[in-house]
Chains A and B, each alone.
Chain A
Amino acid sequence: MDENQKDIILEDIMIKHGDELVRLANHYVNDQETAKDIVQNTFIKCYEKLDSFRYESSLKTWLYRITINGCKDYLKSWHHRKVQLKQSVQDAVKTIFPSTEDKYIRESKNRVIRDVVLALPQHYREVLYLYYYESLKIHEIAGVTEVKESTVKTRLRRGKVKLKNRLEEVGIDG
């Protein structure tokens, strides 16, 4: 494969998977710019390995796994912890002086659901999101998150209970 060919193939892959990967990443890191950076790195790695993908399905799983790993590395990093501290200070200030705009956003149902889902422990949030939002199968989730299928099942089951309880607490029934 020459470089021109590779460029064209990568462009296609980016058009096809770019949006879903950015949303996936944003779900982990909750920051759009960071999510885009992580996905950019995924595609750069993908470009290097382009020759080794034969099937579309293996490519998708691979892209998901690299993106998820990128997100988890980021969440572990020092930079993220620093930013998070700053964010929590800002949030504290916002709670004391809520602007009218914020109040409006807070009232919308989507925002509430998003907050509740994001507040779940990551182990649960990850499988619920991949299963219900990305519509991945149990074995696919096990593949991209690198845990056993039985673990995925347990987390899915317990995550649902947890989420249901929390949604009921904020007055949203399924």
Chain B
Amino acid sequence: MDDHKWKELFSHLDDESLQFTKGDRDKTMAKIKADRKKVTDKRLSIFRLGPSIATVMALIIAAGVLLPLILSESNEADRELASDNEYERFSLLLIGEGYTKRTELNLLVTYNEGRNSMKVVPLPRDLYVSIQGIEGNTIHDKLTHAAAYGGGSEAVQETISEHFKIPVDYYASLHIEDAFDVLGIHEPIRHGYVVNKLEENLNSTVMTDLIAQSETNISDHQFGLLDHEYTIDLIDVSENLETVTNDDDIYYVQLDEEVLQETTELLKSHLEYNE
């Protein structure tokens, strides 16, 4: 499709009936006038209090206005100083959600701008975790149920944060079909298969594409950073999973305690500034 055709296509979006009418303009004006009146009223009431009180008020106001100004100025200077030698570093949980809110893809990610690198830990859907439920109760179940039992993506974020004892700063959630589409995964049956496909296809372009299609709470600035080339280190823990069956004959997987700690350490040190 050429540019002209795209333009033509978008012209279908034109909704001539939607206008900012005379009525809307009058409403806006009325609001501005109402605000203006409020300000004048306030000014008048100060003068009515008498000169001495007005002086005291003026002093308080001056202190109130000037102090934060002075303080914020130094704060800003600090911040600028800090940003000079500090690169952006954060952790993120990327999840692919299916139709019943079950997450079929769970990637724990750390990013370090200074090292221009990312570490990605694919987590199995059957991982046995403690989920913080909506009513404040803890449920022990598979990771895949975390979004459904808890309050959506944030619940998965908290669950993983708790499990790995590492602060997870952000989440990015997209539909599992879109995720598998981008990753070239066709039969998402076994965790091992998904990891293999990730090893084959995951690079910074693919990662950015996944996040671009997500519902996420990372800022546009951070998204902009991810829109460059960087190295991705995939950490595969699938060799260290133990299968457990509970009393009800339900099957889970658990990550070896030592490997769990090692992974946490690895991610934490990746988030540190110094190489």
A151-B223, A151-B227 known; A21-B10 Cβ under 8 A: no
Q: Quick one: which of B1-32 are within 8 Å of A by CB? A: 1, 3, 5-7, 9-15, 18-20, 24-25, 27-29, 31-32
Q: Which residues of B contact A65 (CB under 8 A)?
A: none
Is B264 positioned at the interface, with any CB of A under 8 Å from its CB? no
Is B55 positioned at the interface, with any CB of A under 8 Å from its CB? no
Nearest chain A CB to B47's CB is how many angstroms away? 21
Range, interface on chain B? 35 or more
Q: Which residues of B contact A148 (CB under 8 A)?
A: 224, 227
A39-B20, A43-B28 known; A174-B13 Cβ under 8 A: no
Closest to B226 in A: A151
Measured in the bound complex, the distance between the Cα atoms of B7 and A110 in whole Å is 14
Nearest chain A CB to B157's CB is how many angstroms away? 17
Is the beta-carbon distance between A145 and B212 smaller than 8 angstroms? no
Measured in the bound complex, the distance between the Cα atoms of B13 and A35 in whole Å is 15
Q: Which residues of A contact B220 (CB under 8 A)?
A: 145-147, 151
Is the beta-carbon distance between A174 and B6 smaller than 8 angstroms? yes
Nearest chain B CB to A81's CB is how many angstroms away? 10
Is B36 positioned at the interface, with any CB of A under 8 Å from its CB? yes
8 Å CB contact of A36 from B1, B5, B13, B24: B24
Closest to B215 in A: A121
Q: Which residues of A contact B3 (CB under 8 A)?
A: 132
Is B35 positioned at the interface, with any CB of A under 8 Å from its CB? yes
Is A7 positioned at the interface, with any CB of B under 8 Å from its CB? yes
Is the beta-carbon distance between B223 and A123 smaller than 8 angstroms? yes
Is A11 positioned at the interface, with any CB of B under 8 Å from its CB? yes
Q: Quick one: which of A72-108 are within 8 Å of B by CB? A: none
Is the beta-carbon distance between B10 and A14 smaller than 8 angstroms? no
Is A62 positioned at the interface, with any CB of B under 8 Å from its CB? no
8 Å CB contact of B27 from A11, A40, A114: A40
Is the beta-carbon distance between A44 and B15 smaller than 8 angstroms? no
Nearest chain A CB to B35's CB is how many angstroms away? 7
Is the beta-carbon distance between A128 and B10 smaller than 8 angstroms? yes
8 Å CB contact of A132 from B6, B24, B25, B215: B6
Q: Which 6 A-B pairs have the closest CB atoms?
A: A18-B20, A174-B1, A132-B10, A133-B10, A113-B12, A110-B12
17 contacting pairs across A/B (C-beta < 8 A)? A10-B32, A11-B25, A14-B24, A18-B20, A18-B25, A19-B19, A21-B20, A23-B18, A47-B32, A113-B12, A124-B212, A129-B10, A147-B224, A151-B220, A151-B223, A151-B224, A162-B213
